[in-house]
Structure 1
Amino acid sequence: MLTQIIAIAKAAGQGIMTVYNQPDGKVVLKSDQSPLTEADLLSNQIIVSGLARLTPEIPVLSEESVAIPYEQRAGWQRFWLVDPLDGTKEFIKHNDEFTVNIALIEHGQPVLGVVHAPALDVCYAGAVGQGAFVERKQNPAEPIQIAPRKAQDLLKIVASRSHRDGRTSALLDHLGPHECISMGSSLKFCLVAEGSAHFYPRLGPTMEWDTAAAHAVVNAAGGKVCELSGAALRYNKADLHNPEFFVLGNSDHALLSAVQRCL
């Protein structure tokens, strides 16, 4: 289904861009004071309707859909998890670093994911058994994988552009010499997946739909997304908030151990 999901994500991206290119796109605040744009709602409509046509038997959980009680979700073994516009603050700032995120969750783990950045015309995708790849503009898809970090390599860390906090800054200081790349939305995961960065720490709040699609891409590229303990993030919890997490190479035990000592 990966090809069809990429097509749905790109259609949603086209919808987003029709709003993005208008100077008077409406922005309102949701109950948690996070911004919601016309583009979120349009993207959500395109994705949900597209998934309903493609896989009517698989339920959909989306950030912008009506809340679904855990008692109903608890029996789901397979479902779509969607963030129709990740990085709404980046969208409002007009810096192009926002994405469409679509993930397939099976038994609490992401097995397929598409992260499409319409303003950048870049699409990352990955699935269990198929590897991960990136499409840039009109170029053919290229396979991607994480970059194993050698002892002599300068640590490359990607951090949030809009959600940096004091604890994250303190952690980066404790890790010693490094290069820090600032990026918005779930593109931070993708920089690790394609080998442009070694590590992405997230100590601030996130929701399951923020991470699932990019988590699948990282897994397919040979990396891992884990809690401080090293256990993989799980999905479809009663509380849809994620714990603090880290994105890194699957075999980089030394880096994970260094982070565990710091926190």
Structure 2
Amino acid sequence: MSALSPADAAIDDHALLVLMERAAIDAGRAIMEIYAGDFDVALKGDNSPVTHADKAAEAIILTALREATPDIPVVAEEEVSEGRTPGHLGRRFYLVDPLDGTREFVGRNGDFTVNIALIDHGVPILGVVHAPARGMLFSGGPDGAREAAVDAEGRFGPYRQIIARDCPARMVAVASRSHRTAETDDYLAGFDIAECVSVGSSLKFCLVARGEADIYPRFGRTMEWDTAAGDAVLRAAGGGAWTTEGQLLLYGKREQPDDCDFANPSFIACGRWVPAQS
């Protein structure tokens, strides 16, 4: 595959999105091979779990991105956990979470995803979320958001356009399966919520993007690689992720006075409406 310079990538974001989709699907196949058997679970320095699937998937993604676009830096979860972070990000960079929802992977409930996003001036402009156990691919880019079914061989069917919906009188909320907090429940108590669905990984963003849910509040720690791809899909579908101060979530945050590099503040992801400041 021939390399694309940053200038080429800026012109041909469609080709970049296809590259990211293919990398995510290939990583998903490797994950499912490990998922089908026995695997060991280790703990990283922050006590979060990591498996061979995380590392195998990241290696596949990094090879694909760096071979095709060597001049675009990559911030990848497992590399960062090992102390390897690009010194200078520049205007554009990738954020990669090779296995978002490792707890779901270990628990074998299927709610895990492969996340790849391209950031431009702090904004997630391209994003791919692949849920290999569910056989689904979600992506967002210059032509909007779309989804497709993916089979076990990595073949995917026709794209279907997805659009976030306007805020209804009674909303459907989504919340983290593994990290739901009392603060989340308190926040949702201020809305007329018809149903609250617990889902793992960045699938929460995708449910809002496809108009099946309306709001996803997240209080507490997340990292940029956890959210960027899902946020890109949601923005392409007409929604977005907002801080509790009412600002769109930005990416590439470093030297933060109160947190580590690439850590997110609390946020509210929603459909085609803007949440009030909390």
Q: Give the TM-score taking structure 2 as reference length.
A: 0.86
Matched, 1:179 2:195: yes
Residue matched to 2:167: 149
Q: Compared with structure 1, are the counterparts of its residues 80 and 201 closer, same or farther at alpha carbon in structure 2 (3 Å cutoff)?
A: same
Deviations 1:65-120 (Å, cap 9, x if unpaired)? Answer: 143458x23x5211111000000000000000000000001111111000000011
Deviations 1:200-224 (Å, cap 9, x if unpaired)? Answer: 0001210000000111101100001
Q: CA deviation at 1:228?
A: 1.1
User: Which of 188, 207, 211 does residue 227 from structure 2 map onto?
Assistant: 211
Residue matched to 1:229: 245
**Stretches (4+) displaced over 4 A:** none
Percent identical pairs in the alignment equals 47
Aligned length: 250
- Whole-Å separation in 2 of the counterparts to 1:85 and 1:69: 18
Q: CA deviation at 1:229?
A: 1.8
SS of equivalent residue, structure 1 residue 76 = coil
Residue matched to 2:143: 130
Q: Give the gaps of 5 or more residues in structure 2.
A: 1-15, 151-155, 255-260
Q: Are 2:173 and 2:193, in contact at CA under 8 Å, matched by a contact in 1? A: no
The residue identity in structure 2 corresponding to 1:4 is L
User: Which of 198, 206, 210 does residue 190 from structure 1 map onto?
Assistant: 206
The residue identity in structure 2 corresponding to 1:28 is A
SS of equivalent residue, structure 1 residue 243 = coil
- Whole-Å separation in 2 of the counterparts to 1:20 and 1:215: 26
The residue identity in structure 2 corresponding to 1:143 is Q
- Whole-Å separation in 2 of the counterparts to 1:44 and 1:115: 14
Residues 1-263 of structure 1: matches in 2 within 5 Å? 1-22=16-37, 24-65=38-79, 66-68=82-84, 72-73=87-88, 75-127=89-141, 129-137=142-150, 138-151=156-169, 154-238=170-254, 239-250=261-272, 252-253=273-274, 256-257=275-276, 260=277, 263=278
The residue identity in structure 2 corresponding to 1:166 is A
